[in-house]
Structure 1
Amino acid sequence: GALIETSFKSTIGVLLDDFSENFGMREKVANYYLRQNNDFWIKKAHMQTIFTEYRQAFRTFYYSDKKQLTLPPEEVWDFTFSKAHRTKIGVHDYIAVDVDFYSVLVTDAKTINRSEPALDVIDGKWSDHWILPVEPEFLLQRTGYACIDESSFPKHTVESENVWAYYDDTCKAEPPQPVYDPNEIRCHFSEYPAISCVDALNQNVGSVNVTITWHRIPFTEEIAKKYRFGNHTSKSSDLVSVRKNLLDQTRVAYRYYGENSCVMHEGRGQCIGAPGWRRLLRFTSSAINSGERDIHLGNVTDPDYLYHG
């Protein structure tokens, strides 16, 4: 096996700009958040941390010689916080805490070099850098599509509840497409922000530079046992859905579909009978291989099988 320490430092907080300074309202809100316990800050730190997932999952688009490199399962994340304090982040008024993240990724020694060649040896290290919102909530409402990477996704897929899954701090301002082409490599398809993600963060939210470091350490069963998550459910491969993710990210949304919408025409028949408003049950599903053997999805580099496994 192989053990990969993962760590970073960050800052999270509650943006006070939205609260009026009249009648002492902002001071009351600030005092309220200064009294919050670690449970409150853990939820906010977790929310900020998952904003790194898009670039981890689509790492091959940023590095030609690297594959996906993820954080350990959320169940073994460990956050340590400073005392909450009032501060300015850029031009923004905040109640903030400083965060230290630590966990260990338990993996196998044979394939770690496919994800990151630097981790092929003991004491090997690799770091990646993100610019993240200090306040991760209401990001879509505050910055629009500036930090949204819609590449390879249908238009209007993004909602405020799932914005973390499309967050890409490298997005720049882009001109509108003359003709919609989902295969073009770009961030924006639904809307065309006039400024970059980083500028939108600094203007509307406040940002923090975060460096995640992966560090390979010698393998010991004691450490592996502490950070190993889940149990094998089969002697062979076994694809199992993650129930918690399904429950946490299920919501009802309203969406208008026009005459030219893909749901009116895709497949062998219509998904809906007529244009108009529809109430949708939307959810995010995740699955893990909880079996003892690898699961083989086919040649994922073959265009004929790109979306079929």
Structure 2
Amino acid sequence: MPLAGARSTVLRMEELIRRQAGVFNRRQALEAGLNVNDLRRMRRRNEIARVHDGVYVDHTGPLTWLQRAWAAVLFSEPAALCGEAARRAADGPGRAGYDDGKPIDVMVDRHRNVVEPPGVRLHRAADIQRRVLWTASPPRERIEHAVVRLAADAPREVDAVAYLADAVQGRQTTAARLAAAIDGRERLARRRFLISVVDDIRLGTCSTLEHGYLTLVERPHGLPLAERQFRESLKGQLYRDAAYLGGLVVVELDGRPFHAKVRQRDRDMERDLDVFAAARATARLGWGQVFDRPCSTAVKIGRGLNERGWAGAVHPCPRCPSDVVRLIRGTW
């Protein structure tokens, strides 16, 4: 190969490797100017290593998650990350909680006959062109389609809510886009439930805990509809999860684990103290009050509202334990 051609090939391969986290496939290498013998020689010299048939990486050590993702997409091209893998790629390396050892979910056109390589889980779709962000690196399913897929397949409804609410709260998508993604799927488990969750997100329930408060505590027990993401200016612009009676009663939903940072909890306590100083009342609820004891929580919120001017009454829901039913009937 002439010197100028060799230099051009090196530059193209360097750019390819830089853009794809060190991973490339045989087609790309040949288009850059290498030949099959070049690839064999590079493998003998341990300059590259085989990941899948026809897919290589520029080292011989363990692969990062991003390299595994690129290898999965390049093996099945045209293909894109989907589901959990698409969400992982959208979140980037900084978000905790992912198992990077799981198979990489990849989506291909439903008419293609593609062999599933080790460590890859293939999914087939009819409308892959519309659902994929091809300019992403690597290409991935658009986040609204990815989280709808995950929500439909989630083992529990609370997990389904979390997928949808987290995507909107993290400003990765909008409730309108989620609704369009649901509407565009011909077959979808939990369709009616997912539509109802997205409708509630439009009302302002921005987290799993907020949605649980709305659907398990407030709505089924006849509490008044709270003003969600209530804005006040005691010390700068603050947003409360839910407010009643024009902000006289505030409900804060605290979904953090018990090991959350002390400084953050201290700031929240200071905010609650500010509310108290302004002659308001704050109820701070956690997972237990909302998901484990929603009925008794509704009774206590109702009593607090009655004390501050609400003329309504809490009523039992179909899930209320007998002791809570007796308490409601004896109080209202």
TM-score under structure 1 normalisation? Answer: 0.21
More contact order relative to length (CA 8 Å, sep ≥ 6): 1
| Higher fraction of strand | 1
Structure of greater Rg? 2
